[in-house]
Amino acid sequence: MATALDRHIALIGFMGAGKTTLGMQLADRIGRPFFDLDQEIEATSRRSIADFFRREGEGAFRVVEAERTLATLRFDRPAILALGGGAIETPAIREALREHALTVLVDVDVDLAWERVEGSERPLAHDPEQFRQLYERRRGLYEEAADVRTQTVDDVVLAALGIRIEAGLRPEGGALIADPAALELHPLKLDETHTVREKTLDEAARLWTELTISRDGTIVGYGGGTTTDLAGFVAATYLRGVPWTAVPTTLVGQVDAAIGGKTAVDLREGKNLAGAFHYPEAVLIDPGLLSTLPEEERGAGMAEVVKTGLLAGRELWELPEEQMIRACAAYKAEVCLADPFERDRRAILNLGHTFAHALEAASLYTVRHGDAVALGLLAALRLSGLPTDAVETVLDPRPVPVNREDAWAALQRDKKVREGRVRLVLLEEPGRPVWGIERPEAEVRAALDALIA
């Protein structure tokens, strides 16, 4: 199934399914234009669809509907489209959906659909028996055309980036790049296997020489954030780019690191300084893989959960585990769809990370990423003038023993520094992040110093 990174998201389904409502919510969350095709036809023809049916008949309407729908599907800028209930019966529209869109079936029970539209002006909703017959006639076409079925915005957002969350999910083939500990605990056998322990240029170079797949092969990253970052970077550069799939086995990976197409290796001078945007074709999340996760690794993942909750303005860390993972993954997917290559809003995902990366680099990466993020969130909340209770209660961060000058030097090399000025992600309040914020150097340095033992 193709993702919707550079494709339309087309909502199909029977009348009364709620396509317009869902489409408007989705467009608002991921910042895409929204087109309700029935409303577009009414606007251009300057009459209601019911009047169109009365005056010219259904056949004439279907011709206009096809012309308008096909023109919109061929619109270059990815958008959200809500198609009319009968559009799916036109073969040219079904073909254009396959070519240009991720097609989402917004399913509805026929009795509920009738309850919603009974008494309306819809031209094909006057007789309950004919209504049910029409539903049955179209149902197979909906199911055939759909890439995914859903009734929630979160499910559409996840599907739009190829993210599946389900027990037992595994890839079926490819070149496996795996963390050896994950491989031992949860064996997985693919066409070829390579194990890695760190994300460095030396490891990437080794993999470039060892891989035997061709350009139509797939790389599978199986492990935590270190492994999926490296696997994605190798996939982005091997043979000038091959597809890849992420199978995260840690909480950090499942809620954050494996989502969004950022791939990289670390340099001594800083974290993730060599990398590329290369989105995985699929992210397969099996919460069951977390059953063997050491407690310290779970804590590292909770730092990203708390970060996401602060950005979303919801206490996501209070949810049951699978719901928590789904909510965090959906939030990150939403932000990435709105800003795939971090030119604007996506910068909010770096909340706390400017400080965290500085601490990691100053420790030569002996400080665990989650511990550094927890400290970074403390600094961000303090500079935002907000309470730190959630971070302290859930994560209990402790200052780390690193060289202060090394940490400050690393912070000044951060990718978000412009013209020597550190630019931060802060919060006006939970759920209202702001980015590109400058604070006096003395305040930033004091916030960093407070994180160091």
Which residues sit opposite 178 in a β-bridge? 195, 222
- Name the phi and psi angles at 81, rounded to 5: -120, 130
Decide if 342 is catalytic.
yes
Decide if 357 is catalytic.
yes
- Cβ neighbours, 10 Å, residue 408: 17
| Annotated catalytic residue within 122, 353, 416, 423 | 353
CA distance 445 to 427: 19
- Cβ neighbours, 10 Å, residue 190: 18
| Structure tokens, 26 | 């989705």
Residue 332 and residue 260 in contact, taking contact as beta carbons nearer than 8 Å: yes
CA distance 380 to 375: 9
Decide if 353 is catalytic.
yes
Residue 251 and residue 297 in contact, taking contact as beta carbons nearer than 8 Å: yes
Q: What is the DSSP letter of 288?
A: G
Decide if 369 is catalytic.
yes
- Cβ neighbours, 10 Å, residue 214: 8
CA-to-CA separations, 412 to 7, 271, 383, 452, in angstroms, rounded: 37, 12, 17, 16
CA distance 126 to 393: 58
| Annotated catalytic residue within 29, 262, 278, 326 | 262
| Structure tokens, 254 | 């499942």
The kind and range of the H/E element at 379 are helix 369-384
Decide if 346 is catalytic.
yes
| Annotated catalytic residue within 65, 297, 342, 360 | 342
| Annotated catalytic residue within 32, 278, 357, 368 | 357
| Annotated catalytic residue within 65, 203, 304, 334 | 304
Decide if 304 is catalytic.
yes
CA distance 113 to 74: 30
Decide if 194 is catalytic.
no
Catalytically active residues are 240, 262, 304, 332, 342, 346, 350, 353, 357, 369
